[in-house]
Amino acid sequence: MSVSEEKKEMRRQAKESRTLWVDQAGPDAGAMLAGKFLENAVLAGTTGPVAGYWPMSTEIDVRPLMESLHQRGCEIALPVVVGAEQALVFRRWVPGLTLQEGNFGTHHPASEEPEIIPGLLLVPLLAFDDQGMRLGWGGGFYDRTLAALRASGPVLAVGVAYYGQKVGHVPHSSTDEPLDWIVTDKKVQKVP
């Protein structure tokens, strides 16, 4: 089976199992994730800018964390899909900002909001492993974005998920960008 076929099958399984973890984790999972992030001295020392995301489907809700970081003075941005096969851009977000509907069910700030280059990205995922590999939705947007940002300077990729999304191994190829940290509703883990 090719890596692409392995990913496709794992994606199907991960979507199903994440739905179960949403129910098990309960409505406070996003707040628990925010607490775990802010308890970690390295991550809590983030001064920004930070790229979050507006959760869709059963993705863990990072809005409590984005709001906490905003209150601490961090500049927060949300991703914008500008086109297929392109890196994401990030626009400034503040609590209460009206968002526009984007491609693939996303929500993002309007084009009037300034673009921001983040130093830390909160990266959504379907599955992750101890080596920092993640399985995303399959569009490659975060991999292209991380590759471009890392070519320009240091950036931290923090995968955010329900604890139960951890798997033994995520199939990957040379274009898949690894995570630096993983934060769940139960644990913070620096990738070796």
DSSP 70-104: HHTT--EEEEE--STTS--EEEEE-TT---EE-GG
Q: What is the pLDDT of residue 90?
A: 98
Q: Any residues with CB less than 8 A from the CB of 2 and at least 6 apart, and which?
A: none
Q: What is the pLDDT of residue 47?
A: 85
Measured CA to CA, the distance from residue 189 to residue 192 in angstroms comes to 9
Sorted by where each starts, the structural domains of the chain and their CATH numbers stand as 3-190 (3.40.50.10420)
Q: What is the pLDDT of residue 104?
A: 79
Element (H, E) at 36: helix 29-39
Q: What is the pLDDT of residue 95?
A: 96
Q: What is the pLDDT of residue 105?
A: 83
Positive or negative, the CA dihedral 25, 30, 33, 38 is: negative
30, 21 Cβ separation under 8 angstroms = no
Q: What is the pLDDT of residue 192?
A: 86
pLDDT under 70: residue ranges of the chain: none
Element (H, E) at 158: strand 156-161
